[in-house]
Amino acid sequence: MQVWPGSAYPLGATFDGNGTNFALFSEGADRVELCLFGDRGKETRVDLVDVDAHVWHAYLPTIQPGQRYGYRVHGPNDPANGQRFNPNKLLLDPYAKAVEGQVAWGQSVFGYDFGEPDSRNDDDSAAAMMKGVVVNPFFDWAGDRLPKTPYAESVIYEAHVKGLTALHPEIPEEIRGTYSAIAHPVIIEHLKKIGATAIELMPVHQFVNDSTLQDKGLSNYWGYNTIAFLAPQNTYASTGQRGQQVQEFKGMVRALHAAGIEVILDVVYNHTAEGNHLGPTLSMRGIDNEAYYRLEDSDKRYYTDYTGTGNSMNVGNPHTLQLIMDSLRYWVLEMHVDGFRFDLAATLAREFYEVDRLAAFFEIVQQDPVVSQVKLIAEPWDIGPGGYQVGNFPPQWTEWNGKYRDTVRDFWRGEPSTLGEFASRLTGSADLYEHDGRRPVASINFVTAHDGFTLRDLVSYNEKHNDANGEDGNDGESHNRSWNCGVEGPTDDPDVLALRARQQRNFLATLLLSQGVPMLSHGDELGRTQGGNNNGYAQDNETTWVHWDSVDQPLIEFTAAVARLRHDHPIFRRSRFFDGRPVPTEEGQRLPDIAWLRPDGTQMKPDDWDSGFGRAIGVFLNGEGIHERDRRGQEIVDRNFFVLFNGGDETLDFTIPSGGGDVQWEVIIDTAGRVDDMGLVDHGTSLPLTGKSVVVLRDHREEPTEIDHSVAASLAALTTPIDIVPSPAPKPEL
């Protein structure tokens, strides 16, 4: 076999049309062997003798795409000093762009003998290990262009590749649960119907299925257990062809972009699947443990864990930072993704101990000409000290707003003293983001996400029901801020079902009409339930998959109607915070850009915000007070709106003030389903507002618009409450 010196850059296996360059970083290694595997498992070892700046490299002119490979790294095995080299362990390239196979759990993939953590195990792990695959980088993008949807116009749909598509009857069975299924026209049509402009995919970086879950008959469904940051998950490919997952992923992105839908990846750079000191040796642990992981200063056998998963990536090391940044650039430049949601992003800010918003990672992202130009979304917390950092990320970042979720849930379940914070969350959370120059779009608003109850379960359960996870109900959040509407779980009580249906509409209307960027969790618009399981991480079955054959069609239509309202009216998606300044009207009056109203139609006074009994509030939105320009430089002017919220249990009368001039108001949304009964509303009218409901009124104009008819038609379908519960997954044998 011909072996040429090759190049230290780029890292990984890079096919150039003729041969392949291999490059691996390891500062502590004494020797590195590249291991090539034939179709029958024969292993050929090639010594990498050329080393530049701790990068071991070679060019093999005969190696083509499809070649499987791994590494064996020689060096000191001294866990007390953080060194865990062992050439008997085949190691996955951290830069592998495709991976074949899964880990076959057993003694060989661990660096110690079971029951003796301080021992050394020299069993060869090659037969049990996944392998890297050399990929063909060439792909016909057919003129693909990133949609570049502005944040203010974005609606994000969080989804799981398999869970969203595994049960869809209109998707060919052979591609369900794959990248090709996400690109299928029925999925794209649904996304467009509900107004989604971006799909945020739960982890698709190659991850490992935990041995502890497999022993229970479960599996790692969510995928927050990454092992290769540049490789798309191989189980989401529709064929077993080696390296096909790369081409299929690109085809999915191309199809979504053609429909104007962005692709955002949920990425896990805070830890890896190798776990703590008792974890397996699969990749970075055996390549350069000290460089890639944060170790305890007092005893380097142990790993610093800010994530609850056993280890934390050492973002203070330049080579670890390079791996993360190279991964991000690869997914943007080569895979054409539009942004990233960073799991437990506070961990990336820990250069030393405290969370530091100006840590090296954020400085590098700020100046990077590629990564800085895509959507960057932080999950702004981890489990370490000071880890809750909502509102504290750098200005170019947006954040999952956990305070929005908690406040909106509390308001609709009837918690006292929530009016002030509820108003703040509705208007973009200026208290969190305005101080450093950020805008309302810094807030990624959500009520539910993959972690926790679905929307259906949020209004159907007071307690989690996680027995199927095999952890005696000890897993998952216990304080869910949920309300079951009077009955725990499934019921045939029509009053309870009607209230649950209305509560789901309340949450969706609140979410889609709040300032900031709304994020829907997949299936919430369909009435999806997990039977009260609020931690479906291990349920790769019908508990977590979307049941497309039993969806809540009226809820879909409602979601689509409110999303169209948001799309058509920029007053609900402002790029700047409200300022309360008076704005001249055509009639010569001066109205503020926003006004908060009591049920009697008068403006809220300071004492009203702190009243523990307050359950209802109205807001006037002035369409002439947006103070923004569109892309062509034209002043943005919209219609005026009243949005009324009644979080109480009883119907109350809400007096409608004039809003300026002799105007009438049309009710375009009522989550209690009474749009057709209300007609036009004059100022000064007392409007009955059903308990637990939202009403939206728009200033009436003679000329009809398309949204008037589509919204009315969609809301007219709100008649039959339904209850959909899939068969629960069997409890595993323990």
Convert the pLDDT of each residue in 402-451 to its tens digit.
999 999 999 999 998 789 999 999 999 999 999 989 999 999 999 999 99
Superfamily for domain range 12-134: Immunoglobulins (2.60.40.10)
Question: CATH class for domain 585-700?
Answer: mainly beta
Closest residue by Cα to residue 8 from 344, 263, 322: 322
Convert the pLDDT of each residue in 230-285 to its tens digit.
999 999 999 888 999 999 999 999 999 999 999 999 999 999 999 999 999 999 99
Distance in angstroms (rounded) separating the CA atoms of residues 718 and 156: 25
Closest residue by Cα to residue 398 from 355, 448, 342, 349: 342
Which pLDDT does position 148 carry in this prediction? 97
Distance in angstroms (rounded) separating the CA atoms of residues 315 and 331: 19
Average pLDDT over residues 1-6: 95
Using the predicted structure, report yes or no on whether residue 710 has a pLDDT greater than 60.
no
Convert the pLDDT of each residue in 357-405 to its tens digit.
668 899 999 999 999 999 999 999 888 888 889 999 999 999 999 999 9
Distance in angstroms (rounded) separating the CA atoms of residues 405 and 201: 20
If pLDDT is split at 50, 70 and 90, which confidence band does 676 have?
A: low
Give DSSP secondary structure letters for 613-664.
T--EEEEEE-TT----B-TTSPBP----EEEEEE-SSS-EEEE---SSSS-E
Which pLDDT does position 725 carry in this prediction? 36
If pLDDT is split at 50, 70 and 90, which confidence band does 729 have?
A: very low
If pLDDT is split at 50, 70 and 90, which confidence band does 652 have?
A: very high
H or E element: which one contains 553? helix 553-568
If pLDDT is split at 50, 70 and 90, which confidence band does 660 have?
A: low
Give DSSP secondary structure letters for 312-361.
-B-TTSHHHHHHHHHHHHHHHHTT---EEEETTGGGGG-SSSS--TT-HH
Using the predicted structure, report yes or no on whether residue 711 has a pLDDT greater than 50.
no
Residues 6 or more apart whose Cβ sits within 8 Å of residue 474? none
Between 127 and 387, residue with greater pLDDT? 127
Residue 489 CB-density burial (10 A; 0-12 exposed, 13-18 middle, 19+ buried): middle
Strand runs (DSSP E) across 53-173, as ranges?
Answer: 55-60, 68-74, 77-78, 83-84, 99-100, 131-133, 156-159
Using the predicted structure, report yes or no on whether residue 728 has a pLDDT greater than 50.
no
Encoded amino acid at 614, one letter: G
Distance in angstroms (rounded) separating the CA atoms of residues 402 and 638: 30
Using the predicted structure, report yes or no on whether residue 734 has a pLDDT greater than 80.
no
If pLDDT is split at 50, 70 and 90, which confidence band does 704 have?
A: very low
Encoded amino acid at 289, one letter: N
| Active centre residues (catalytic) | 343, 379
With b for 16 or more beta-carbon neighbours within 10 A and e for fewer, the 638-650 pattern comes to bbbbbbbbbbbee
Average pLDDT over residues 296-315: 94
Which pLDDT does position 589 carry in this prediction? 58
User: Which of 80-94, 476-490, 700-714 is predicted with the least confidence, judged by mean pLDDT?
Assistant: 700-714
If pLDDT is split at 50, 70 and 90, which confidence band does 352 have?
A: low
Question: CA of 160: how far to CAs of 220, 282, 343, 450, in Å?
Answer: 13, 25, 15, 9
Which pLDDT does position 730 carry in this prediction? 38
Encoded amino acid at 660, one letter: G
643 φ, ψ to 5°?
A: -120, 125
Whether the CB-CB separation of 656 and 642 falls below 8 Å is answered with: yes
Domain regions of the chain by residue span: 12-134, 585-700
Average pLDDT over residues 337-347: 94
Convert the pLDDT of each residue in 183-231 to its tens digit.
999 999 999 999 999 999 999 999 999 999 999 999 999 999 999 999 9
Using the predicted structure, report yes or no on whether residue 133 has a pLDDT greater than 60.
yes
Which pLDDT does position 6 carry in this prediction? 97
Distance in angstroms (rounded) separating the CA atoms of residues 465 and 481: 15
Distance in angstroms (rounded) separating the CA atoms of residues 592 and 602: 14
H or E element: which one contains 162? helix 161-165
Strand runs (DSSP E) across 365-516, as ranges?
Answer: 375-378, 398-400, 443-445
pTM here? 0.94
If pLDDT is split at 50, 70 and 90, which confidence band does 553 have?
A: very high
If pLDDT is split at 50, 70 and 90, which confidence band does 705 have?
A: very low
Percentage of the chain surpassing pLDDT 90?
A: 81
- Whether 585-700 and 12-134 are alike in CATH topology: the answer is yes
Average pLDDT over residues 714-730: 35
Q: What is the mean pLDDT of the chain?
A: 91
Convert the pLDDT of each residue in 86-103 to its tens digit.
999 999 999 999 999 999
- Where are the alpha helices (H) located in 194-280, listed in sequence order? 211-215, 244-258
Encoded amino acid at 524, one letter: D
Which pLDDT does position 606 carry in this prediction? 87
Whether the CB-CB separation of 235 and 126 falls below 8 Å is answered with: no
Taking the alpha carbons at both ends of the chain, their separation in whole angstroms is 51
Convert the pLDDT of each residue in 594-603 to its tens digit.
999 999 999 9
Average pLDDT over residues 300-319: 94
Strand runs (DSSP E) across 116-225, as ranges?
Answer: 131-133, 156-159, 198-201, 205-207
Distance in angstroms (rounded) separating the CA atoms of residues 232 and 243: 9
